[in-house]
């Protein structure tokens, strides 16, 4: 499939090629960072997941040693590597919080580029899309992709929006308020969305925040009314719609992915 790549994604592809890698899982990310000319360290950081400090031709990438999950640490490393490859001459010190790593579509331009770099670097477009084509979309595919590319389910889900094989729309909510959404290029429906308003009362996201109910295993895929999230358009008939909601309690945010059969 022919993809259009952003500047950051193209840079990630170039770095992978220069490292002689098809997949970054072939080497430890720490070794890749060192091979690219930056010093790598882990230590406790307060209120941030990573940072890069550059002076002259030297750069130090520091990752918070308190990050609990290896998948999250890998994304933080790839994110800082993106800063190193693209921004070290623009800012001597760049720090990144959880907000910067999760809010792919609301962060500033440098943070958005670093996230795009990390996504392409950890989940190369051709490999990711090719793997998706082997499966019919449901929540188990997100789990499979996360395991294959050694990333979090959040990262795999957001990547699926751009490089997946089925039209989907993702809505990010924090503290029971809608913050942003992103749809696949072939998504044809109009989302009813008002920033900083609570999600629809009959949505899985609203149920999660108000009743703390988290679905698991074979209940992850919840059938919803088309009108739950979408504006009615008789032109498109009345297909079945589903919602799968990821919840991160430590930061009280959710990602709802909606799709039709």
Which pLDDT belongs to residue 249? 85
- Over residues 151-210, the pLDDT tens digits come to 999 999 999 999 999 999 999 999 999 999 999 999 999 998 999 999 999 999 999 999
Determine how β-strand 93-96 pairs with β-strand 58-64. Answer: unpaired
Report the run of H or E that residue 52 belongs to, with start and end.
strand 50-55
- Over residues 154-171, the pLDDT tens digits come to 999 999 999 999 999 999
The fraction of the chain above a pLDDT of 70, given in percent, is 91
Sheet containing 222-224: give its strands across.
Answer: 177-183, 169-174, 253-260, 241-248, 222-224
- Over residues 97-108, the pLDDT tens digits come to 565 556 655 567
Residues near 48 by Cβ (< 8 Å), separated by ≥ 6?
Answer: 64, 95, 96, 97
CATH code for the structural domain at 7-125:
1.10.10
**What are the domain boundaries of the chain?**
7-125, 167-261
**Integer Cα distance of 93 and 241 in angstroms:** 45
């Amino acid at each position: 499939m022919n993809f259009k790549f952003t500047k950051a994604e193209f840079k990630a592809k170039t770095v992978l090629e220069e490292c002689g890698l098809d997949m970054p899982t072939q080497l430890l990310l720490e070794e890749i960072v060192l091979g690219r000319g930056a010093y790598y360290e882990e230590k406790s950081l307060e209120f941030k997941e990573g940072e890069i400090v550059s002076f002259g031709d030297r750069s130090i990438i520091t990752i918070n040693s308190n990050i609990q999950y290896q998948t999250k640490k890998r994304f933080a490393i790839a994110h800082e590597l993106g800063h190193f490859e693209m921004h070290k001459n623009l800012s001597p010190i760049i720090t990144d919080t959880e907000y910067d790593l999760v809010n792919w579509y609301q962060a500033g331009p440098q943070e958005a580029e670093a996230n795009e770099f990390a996504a392409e670097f950890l989940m190369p477009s051709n490999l990711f899309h090719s793997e998706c084509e082997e499966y019919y979309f449901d929540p188990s595919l997100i789990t499979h992709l996360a395991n294959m590319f050694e990333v979090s389910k959040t990262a795999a889900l957001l990547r699926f929006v751009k490089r997946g094989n089925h039209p989907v729309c993702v809505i990010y909510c924090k503290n029971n308020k809608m913050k942003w959404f992103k749809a696949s290029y072939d998504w044809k429906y109009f989302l009813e969305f008002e920033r900083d308003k609570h999600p629809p009362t009959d949505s899985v996201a609203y149920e999660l925040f108000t009743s703390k109910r988290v679905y698991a295993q074979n209940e992850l895929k919840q059938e919803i009314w088309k009108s739950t999230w979408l504006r009615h358009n008789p032109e498109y008939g009345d297909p079945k719609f589903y919602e799968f909601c990821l919840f991160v309690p430590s930061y009280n945010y959710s990602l709802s992915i909606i799709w039709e059969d």
